[in-house]
Amino acid sequence: MFRLIQLNTHLGVPRIGVDPDGYASERAALARYRATPGSFFGVGRFDEEGTLAEIIMDTVCGPVGDCPRPATVVHARTFQRLCDTCGFGLEVLTVPELALRMGIAVRLAPVLARSGRHAAAEFAFTASNRIAREFATRVEDQAWRHELCVELARNPSSVNGLLIGVGALSHRDVLDLYPALKTLGEQIPACVHGDLLRATSRPLSPAGVAALRLGI
Ligand SMILES: [Zn+2]
């Protein structure tokens, strides 16, 4: 039996949260997991007695955005999944170290196949593409920014397009567009704003770069 799990810390002690829905296969659980990015840490395999026997850690890096590099480590205190670049300079645990800390076997999930994604993720992908494509030329347009914020609130995973669009600006663009970027940073929906604010602790990550450029 496979269930989606959350991994949090309380006073430095790891806490595992288990979703009630069970899945017959790892593949089915991962498909469900990937339809709700950001909500779970990965998939847990439970034995016949219902004991957590193994944690299958997803390879998506970071809380938001689409850092394209696969996560290989976790932050030592928050257990946020990070790739080598985003984890650079931070206190991190390797997968074997995490297993030791948890006292449970941990392994990385197979890399995501595009065709296996949920329809909602595909939709977010299209919205993301549009946001990324239009960002540099439209961000100064107040109505466009409003539309973007509505989209982000309705569909938080479209934040990927924002990260790509902001990340693609040249330094010169950032200077020229800074008033509009800063205004957008103030208008952005609270849920996305919170994720971006947390990302400023990783200034080299795509979300960290976007947050700083948006004046967050
Ligand atoms: Zn990363």
54 CA from centroid of ligand 1 (Å): 24
Q: What pLDDT score does 37 carry? A: 64
Show me where the domains of the chain are located.
2-116, 119-213
At 159, list the tokens.
Answer: 């934040």
pLDDT of residue 214: 96
Q: 67 C-alpha vs ligand 1 centroid, how far in Å?
A: 5
Kindly tell me if the per-residue pLDDT of 178 is higher than 90.
Answer: yes
Q: Which residues surround ligand 1, an ion (CB under 5 A)?
A: 61, 67, 69, 83, 86
Please give the distance, rounded to the nearest whole angstrom, from the Cα atom of residue 68 to the centre of ligand 1.
7
What is the CA(101)–ligand 1 centre distance, in A? 22
Orientation angle between helical segments 119-138 and 159-167, nearest 10 degrees: 30
What is the 73 CA–ligand 1 centroid distance (Å)?
Answer: 10
DSSP structure class, residue 201: T
Strands laid side by side in the 81-82 sheet: 81-82, 73-75, 92-94
3-7, 46-50, 87-91: segment of lowest average pLDDT: 87-91
- Ligand 1 center from residue 25 Cα (angstroms): 28
Separation of CA 96 and ligand 1 centre (Å): 19
- Reported as a single tens digit per residue, the pLDDT across 16-36 is 989 888 999 888 888 888 777
Asked whether residue 157 carries a pLDDT value surpassing 50, the answer given is: yes
Q: What is the pLDDT of residues 105-150, one digit of tens each?
A: 899 887 654 434 444 454 556 777 788 889 999 999 999 999 999 9
**62-116 pLDDT tens trace:** 765 567 788 889 998 888 899 888 887 888 888 888 888 888 889 988 765 443 4
- Using the structure block, give the residue that is written with the tokens 């847990």: 44
pLDDT band at 215 (very low <50, low <70, confident <90, very high): very high
Q: What is the mean pLDDT of residues 137-164?
A: 88
What is the model's pLDDT at position 161?
82
- Cα of 71 vs centre of ligand 1, distance in Å, is 6
Ligand 1 center–CA 65 separation, angstroms: 9
pLDDT value at 187 more than 90: yes
Using the mean position of ligand 1's atoms as its centre, give its distance from the Cα of residue 51 in Å. 32
Under DSSP, is residue 12 helix (H, G, I), strand (E, B) or coil?
A: coil
Beta strand extents in 11-164 (DSSP E only): 13-23, 42-46, 52-57, 73-75, 81-82, 92-94, 105-108
User: What's the chain's average pLDDT?
Assistant: 84
Virtual CA dihedral for 108, 102, 205, 42, nearest 10 degrees? 50
Most distant CA pair in the chain, distance:
61
pTM of the shown model: 0.51
